[in-house]
Structure 1
């Protein structure tokens, strides 16, 4: 048996390629939308991908299940659990608790483990070449290394009302009746790692075991004492804000993401062409450089989506592809490879429309984004000082009178911003406020960024 973990550092998301070496067949679990890594793995191991499945309707990225099936001819398997409100809207075999997929000597058994979502499945894998007992659990967003999937995303991102409490009760029951009934040696491979917004304290290690989580997880003591209410209280306390784009992911993943097919190479565009498109509002310019470079000057109205880091996450903060004002993106990139890397990241969150790229600002209008120093802020006439950090960061220290609104929620909560006047934006390093600031400028707001971010203000006002 072959198990390969394909990990996206940006979204802290793991998918799994599981193959039967005897038969030369494989199944992929929770694929992302840019499917090249799975095709490469299959070719390198002389395998054919014959099945593809997912643990649940994802909120933080766009599923590649349909994309991979269309490319390979693989059979699609999705959850049939969760009731009428949580049924997928595209074709595929529905799995229920106890159903199994067979790949050569391998058995992949579905376990209904609601809590994070009502339809959630985990997959228990048995390598029949060695034993008839399961050895591996693909736990999706059920059990992470050191944490659990949050049960409040349906309230935060799917329009639910107080569903978190029932989700937390379901999580308790899933742990008691499913997870803790497994042998301690079963290896646990979760769907996310540290940095994911799908939990509050995920570990960075790639896997765990049932026994380790039983003994050392924060929730183990509540299960041992059968303290459901204590468990619910701690599970729900301190969950991070959900990004606004999660609602779009939930809807698209349930209905079935559009199949892209093989993407054409992005072409470099002449500066005159780019200038004309921008002048006619036929495209949106995306600056992928770091904050320091961008602050030296960029195209007026440009979005800021840095390359090489949290590109997908930050892209989903700055671009709403469902907006009536959405336009094709023109990327500023060092070369075609970087442009393709940025595109691959953005398609993972459903940002698909690209006009091409350009390697230089030469020949384009340029302006430096407005900034203000920490000392100037004291006497500055701002309509709002906007803190785009998380609420936990804001609570630990903030500029007095500032309004906290997580950067991933700003464009979807414009009613919280003043219609007129200058907005001073800040974060912890300048990165997040640059991304939000440029997105708001693109939307017509007058935004000034705080130089040196919050640390500069704190240092200037230290007693």
Structure 2
């Protein structure tokens, strides 16, 4: 048997290619939209991708299942659990098999047995793999999707918080409790292959180790220890992070079917004057580091640095009805575009090299930064307002006196509450998120904005008085 895992560090997402080396057939489990990685690996290993499957309708990234099945003329194996709200709607014209609890299918000499594991979502299923081609009658591992992670489990509140299904969080938590009782009955030696690692918003505290075993999780995963259902439900629902705004769109698109990706490069602009033809609904997205952006940038641009957090914040801050013009070095454009496609932000209409936008000084602007010592001196001045853009849990743990809380992901929704005659001081944990927030406010017409270097960590280090 051939087995290869793939990890997208921007989304903390895991996918898998499994092949029967005796028959040359392969299947991809929970594919990302970046399908080239599977095609190349399969070709290099002498395998043909004949099947595609996924554990549930994902909310945090755009699935590559439809793209891969179409490209390879492969059979789709997908869940038929859950009610009518959780059925795949794009299967017409594709070879597909709908799966219920207890169903089995084979790929060459590899057997997959379906286990319905609701809780994260109603239709969630896991796959128990047995390598019969290797002579084993015992299973090797289980693809758990967003059911069981290393050290954590999938959150049950996304349907309510992100997809808008009222009063479903507690129902999901109770389903999760009972699904975990079935999981506990699996052999301890079974390997656990989850769909996410540390950094994913699909759980509270996912481990950074890529795989585990059932036995290890029974010993160490907090969620597998409680025997009392009420206590479990309360613990699971408390402290869950804010789900990114784009999660609702991912659920919708993965249900109805993501658009197939069209080839070709986007137009390159060769001077700053060409940017003038794009209307106010266009997002000018500058992906440089925040220090470079702060020194000088195209007026009206927002700054989301191209790093591990890029995809997450792009999903929070860019609308699916907006065109995007990238401001970035030419050699980074394809990678940036691929990261945006991973969450369905396909409307990139052009790009311009960031250096060209800085030539015309009349079309550039900048913003300043202050230290926490300078901030301390300004807090008593009514002309200044401190805005804390951290998550709710961070705010609850401690904050700087006089700050108001406007989490970065929803900051633009509250701009009407902020008069433009003040100077705004933006602060987060370290200064990175507040730099993005500073660019957002400046792009929306706030001319007096300053980023607080070092953020709350620097404030706490200086041992200033902190209100709780």
Q: TM-score, normalised by structure 1?
A: 0.91
2-structure distance, mates of 1:22, 1:273:
60
Aligned to 2:71: 71
For the Cα contact (< 8 Å) 1:118–1:167, is it kept in 2?
yes
1-structure distance, mates of 2:29, 2:416:
40
Structure-to-structure mapping, 1:9-408, within 5 angstroms: 9-91=9-91, 92-129=96-133, 130-177=135-182, 179-222=183-226, 226-261=227-262, 263-272=263-272, 274-278=274-278, 280-281=279-280, 283-322=282-321, 326-327=322-323, 329-336=324-331, 338-359=332-353, 360=355, 361-364=357-360, 365-369=363-367, 371=369, 373-375=374-376, 377-381=378-382, 385-408=386-409
Judging changes above 3 Å, is the alpha-carbon distance between structure 1 residues 371 and 149 closer, same or farther for their aligned structure 2 residues? Answer: same
Residue by residue over 1:216-263, the C-alpha shift from the partner in whole angstroms, topping out at 9 and shown as x without a partner, is 2212331xxx311121122122111111111111111111111113x2
Residue by residue over 1:111-145, the C-alpha shift from the partner in whole angstroms, topping out at 9 and shown as x without a partner, is 11000111101111111112132111010000000
Instruction: Indicate which of 435, 454, 457 corresponds to 2:456.
Output: 454
Secondary structure in structure 2 of the residue aligned to 1:97: coil
Residue by residue over 1:301-332, the C-alpha shift from the partner in whole angstroms, topping out at 9 and shown as x without a partner, is 1121211322211211221123xxx12x2223
Secondary structure in structure 1 of the residue aligned to 2:269: coil
For the Cα contact (< 8 Å) 1:374–1:457, is it kept in 2?
no
Offset of residue 269 of structure 1: 2.1
Judging changes above 3 Å, is the alpha-carbon distance between structure 1 residues 447 and 161 closer, same or farther for their aligned structure 2 residues? Answer: farther
Structure 2: gaps of 5 or more residues? none
Judging changes above 3 Å, is the alpha-carbon distance between structure 1 residues 227 and 351 closer, same or farther for their aligned structure 2 residues? Answer: same
For the Cα contact (< 8 Å) 1:374–1:450, is it kept in 2?
no
1-structure distance, mates of 2:282, 2:415:
26
Residue by residue over 1:5-36, the C-alpha shift from the partner in whole angstroms, topping out at 9 and shown as x without a partner, is 11011111101111111111111111111211
For the Cα contact (< 8 Å) 2:378–2:384, is it kept in 1?
no
1-structure distance, mates of 2:421, 2:53:
50
1-structure distance, mates of 2:79, 2:391:
33
Judging changes above 3 Å, is the alpha-carbon distance between structure 1 residues 461 and 146 closer, same or farther for their aligned structure 2 residues? Answer: closer
For the Cα contact (< 8 Å) 2:406–2:414, is it kept in 1?
no
2-structure distance, mates of 1:168, 1:416:
37
Offset of residue 199 of structure 1: 0.6
Offset of residue 79 of structure 1: 1.1
Judging changes above 3 Å, is the alpha-carbon distance between structure 1 residues 106 and 443 closer, same or farther for their aligned structure 2 residues? Answer: farther
Judging changes above 3 Å, is the alpha-carbon distance between structure 1 residues 305 and 274 closer, same or farther for their aligned structure 2 residues? Answer: farther
For the Cα contact (< 8 Å) 1:440–1:447, is it kept in 2?
no
Judging changes above 3 Å, is the alpha-carbon distance between structure 1 residues 426 and 208 closer, same or farther for their aligned structure 2 residues? Answer: same
For the Cα contact (< 8 Å) 1:137–1:189, is it kept in 2?
yes
Offset of residue 462 of structure 1: 1.9
Secondary structure in structure 2 of the residue aligned to 1:189: strand
The number of residue pairs the alignment matches comes to 451
Judging changes above 3 Å, is the alpha-carbon distance between structure 1 residues 366 and 446 closer, same or farther for their aligned structure 2 residues? Answer: closer
Structure 1: gaps of 5 or more residues? none
Judging changes above 3 Å, is the alpha-carbon distance between structure 1 residues 377 and 65 closer, same or farther for their aligned structure 2 residues? Answer: farther
Judging changes above 3 Å, is the alpha-carbon distance between structure 1 residues 415 and 282 closer, same or farther for their aligned structure 2 residues? Answer: closer
1-structure distance, mates of 2:416, 2:72:
46
1-structure distance, mates of 2:131, 2:310:
37
Secondary structure in structure 2 of the residue aligned to 1:147: coil
Worse overlay, 390-399 or 40-49: 390-399
Judging changes above 3 Å, is the alpha-carbon distance between structure 1 residues 416 and 217 closer, same or farther for their aligned structure 2 residues? Answer: farther
Offset of residue 456 of structure 1: 4.4
